[in-house]
Amino acid sequence: MSGTSAPESAAYVIGVDVGTGSARAGLFDLGGRMLSTAKRDISLFREPGAMVEQSSTEIWQAVCAIVREVVASAGIEPASVVGLGFDATCSLVVLGDGGRPLPVGPSEDPNRDIIVWMDHRAVQQAERINELGHDVLRYVGGRISPEMETPKILWLKENRSQIFDAAWQFFDLADFLTWRATGDLARSTCTVTCKWTYLAHEQRWDPTYFRKIGLDQLADEGFSRIGTLIVEPGTPLGRGLTEEAAQAMGLNPGTAVAAGMIDAHAGGIGTVGIGGRPERNLAYVFGTSSCTMTSTAEPVFVPGVWGPYYSAMVPGMWLNEGGQSAAGAAIDQLLRFHPAALEAATQAESKGVALPVMLANLAAEKKGTASEAVRLATGMHVVPEFLGNRAPFADPHARAVIAGLGMERDLDSLVALYVAGICGIGYGLKQIIDTQATAGAHVEQIVISGGAGQHDFVRQILADASGKPVIAPVSDEPVLLGSAILGAVAASAFADVRQAMTSLSGTARIYRPVEGPLAGVHSERYEAFKQLQNISRQLRNC
């Protein structure tokens, strides 16, 4: 918990971000200054077969606790909180009559009612949907992902039909949170367009898609279980906080609650307004996974990149969404393989820092600058696709490649492996940017957010590897700021989301890509990255 004092006469908004491993809240004034934060860890339950589940009950309790905490930490009166915004991972929440949690997996535990975004139980369903083909797939980069919701719902129908039949509502997690807060069943344009195949530019579901893939019941019911009222993020919902939710959060009933967003997209709202031209900026949210968000005035179809989605992030603009299924998590996984990892982790803990932070510090120290540190990884290459390739290949079967690893067991070797891994993340980012540019979606700079991308070393390597300037926003918590922006708009503190984005976003520092010989090193390493990807695909079935 952290906080600073605030004048009592002011108005404040709260942004709530529910990520993969934790729920966080930030309390902001209407100038975009964050006064306090709070965090609660949330449980992940894993089962064989790439199943990953969570509890909506636990998440809601965590959310209520951290909202109370940020208000108390800031030392303000609850009545001065005028708006509340939510973002969350694109995980599937399954509820029965009366909002009763339903078990989504073999544990039969009703508290495990969420299929987490990273759960890949629906790979076969996704592949079958792609083989069948349908026009709506044009708006998800040509191929549906097992991380999206319709393959997961189809898996439930085919493997847990009693749960499918008993489900009263299927929610994206952000929409579940706004329902719990307000009792309003409205869904966000962001969630249903990006993860459910809603056609926002036509303001409709396509019933022929659902009938073709085997979810005809949802169409026959008029889509009542997945959303009949779709509204833009920032829209005020219901009558604000219900009495029950307000009591749980320690806020006043009727406090404005905004239609929410997917977590990565909230990071986009909190960053791409820099300079007042969202189309210049690629929002890069670097956390457990990574997401890239590119805004265009007209739709751009990019094979392997999700979208184009209309009004899913910046109102009135089209969004292309890419990213890496494992980013921060890929670095963690990579480091665990090394013999020196355990000893190094103990050393990092004694210094009060995370292991990747310690390794980043060591890498920069060894070569004097972050850019020179790429030479530590000479001969070592990493394609960090441990959980598949989200973009630009939409290939859930892709896997990581590590080349050039010897038998060294020392800390220097671990540092080199870390540098190679961060470079690999950067080359994957460059590949997405290049693919989008070929299709007509150009960006000039990268605006970074997310916990895994906060270190100066990481930001510089990403700039060098991608060849684009990396912008660090003024806000240390742009995802929380993005959610708070939605709450501010719902409370009528700003006319609309675009005005709030421009007013509350700013540049703290620019990391410019290296030039000269080191740029050539990255160019050669990028070609090696692509070659290793190709070889991995060729050897997949050997």
DSSP string covering 271-316: TTTGGG-GGGEEEEEESSSEEEEEEESS----TTSEEEEETSSSTT
Last residue of a domain, one of 208, 233, 261: 261
Residue 506 banded pLDDT, cuts 50, 70, 90: confident
* Amino acid sitting at position 527: E
Question: DSSP readout, 43-85?
Answer: --EEETTTEEEE-HHHHHHHHHHHHHHHHHHHT--GGGEEEEE
My answer on whether 252 and 340 are in the same domain is: no
404 to 292, 356, 378, 407, 482: CA distances (angstroms): 29, 20, 9, 10, 41
My answer on whether 54 and 163 are in the same domain is: yes
The answer to whether position 101 is within a domain reads: yes
My answer on whether 39 and 132 are in the same domain is: yes
Residue 7 banded pLDDT, cuts 50, 70, 90: very low
β-pairing verdict for 281-286 and 445-449: parallel
Containing structural domain, residue 99: 2-261
My answer on whether 57 and 165 are in the same domain is: yes
My answer on whether 168 and 89 are in the same domain is: yes
Let me know if 357 is exposed, middle or buried by CB neighbors in 10 A (0-12, 13-18, 19+): middle
My answer on whether 256 and 340 are in the same domain is: no
The answer to whether position 88 is within a domain reads: yes
**What's the whole-number mean pLDDT along residues 396-418?**
95
pLDDT greater than 80 at residue 129: yes
The answer to whether position 466 is within a domain reads: no
How much of the chain is in helix, strand and coil states, percent to nearest 5?
45, 20, 35
Matching residue, tokens 């007509």: 440
Residue 3 banded pLDDT, cuts 50, 70, 90: low
Q: In sequence order, what are the beta bridge partners of 40?
A: 23
β-pairing verdict for 45-47 and 34-41: unpaired
> What SS3 class is residue 117?
coil
The answer to whether position 398 is within a domain reads: yes
Q: What is the pLDDT of residues 58-82, one digit of tens each?
A: 999 999 999 999 999 999 999 999 9
In the prediction, which pLDDT does 450 show?
81
Q: How many whole angstroms from its chain centre is CA 529?
A: 24
pLDDT greater than 50 at residue 8: no
What's the CA gap between 423 and 384, in Å, rounded?
Answer: 10
Residue 405 banded pLDDT, cuts 50, 70, 90: very high
Q: What is the pLDDT of residues 292-343, one digit of tens each?
A: 999 999 999 998 888 899 999 998 999 999 999 899 999 999 999 999 999 9
Let me know if 168 is exposed, middle or buried by CB neighbors in 10 A (0-12, 13-18, 19+): middle
In the prediction, which pLDDT does 1 show?
46
The answer to whether position 267 is within a domain reads: no
Strand (E) or helix (H) holding 3: strand 2-3
Question: DSSP readout, 170-214?
Answer: EEEHHHHHHHHHH---PEEHHHHHHHS--BTTTTB--HHHHHHHT
Question: Do 446 and 468 touch, CB atoms closer than 8 A?
Answer: yes
Backbone angles phi, psi at 403, to 5 degrees: -125, 140
The answer to whether position 292 is within a domain reads: no
Residue 5 banded pLDDT, cuts 50, 70, 90: very low
β-pairing verdict for 34-41 and 22-29: antiparallel
Beta-carbon contacts of 168 under 8 Å, excluding residues fewer than 6 positions away, are: 95, 96, 97, 98, 99, 100, 225
My answer on whether 249 and 335 are in the same domain is: no
CATH code: domain of residue 381: 1.20.58.2240
The answer to whether position 146 is within a domain reads: yes
Neighbouring C-beta atoms of residue 41, cutoff 10 Å: 10
Q: What is the pLDDT of residues 460-471, one digit of tens each?
A: 999 999 999 999
Question: Do 23 and 59 touch, CB atoms closer than 8 A?
Answer: yes
Q: How many CA atoms lie within 13 A of 277 on its CB side?
A: 8
Nearest alpha-carbon partner for 478 in 9, 24, 4: 24
The answer to whether position 40 is within a domain reads: yes
β-pairing verdict for 92-95 and 169-172: antiparallel
My answer on whether 342 and 244 are in the same domain is: no
For a pLDDT cut of 90, what percent of the chain falls above it? 85
Strand (E) or helix (H) holding 436: helix 411-439
Q: What is the pTM of this model?
A: 0.84
pLDDT greater than 90 at residue 427: yes
Q: What is the pLDDT of residues 375-395, one digit of tens each?
A: 999 999 999 999 899 899 988
In the prediction, which pLDDT does 423 show?
97
My answer on whether 8 and 104 are in the same domain is: yes
The pair of three-digit structure tokens given for residue 169, joined into one six-digit string:
């509502």
My answer on whether 33 and 137 are in the same domain is: yes
Beta-carbon contacts of 456 under 8 Å, excluding residues fewer than 6 positions away, are: 364, 370, 511
Domain count, the chain: 2
The pair of three-digit structure tokens given for residue 420, joined into one six-digit string:
């190679």
Question: Do 500 and 489 touch, CB atoms closer than 8 A?
Answer: yes
Return the exposure string of 128-161: e unless at least 16 CB atoms fall within 10 Å of the residue's CB, then b: bbbeeebebbebbbbbbbbbbbbbbbbbbbeebe
In the prediction, which pLDDT does 394 show?
82
My answer on whether 152 and 233 are in the same domain is: yes
Strand (E) or helix (H) holding 115: strand 114-115
Last residue of a domain, one of 213, 241, 261: 261
CATH code: domain of residue 22: 3.30.420.40
Last residue of a domain, one of 226, 261, 296: 261
Q: What is the pLDDT of residues 191-229, one digit of tens each?
A: 999 999 999 999 999 999 999 999 999 999 999 999 999
Task: Tell me which range, 133-147, 165-179, 298-312, is most confidently predicted by mean pLDDT.
Answer: 165-179
More confident residue, 5 or 136: 136
What's the CA gap between 443 and 451, in Å, rounded?
Answer: 23
What's the CA gap between 82 and 14, in Å, rounded?
Answer: 8
The pair of three-digit structure tokens given for residue 9, joined into one six-digit string:
């006469």
My answer on whether 413 and 532 are in the same domain is: yes
Q: In whole numbers, what is the pLDDT of the chain averaged over residues?
A: 94
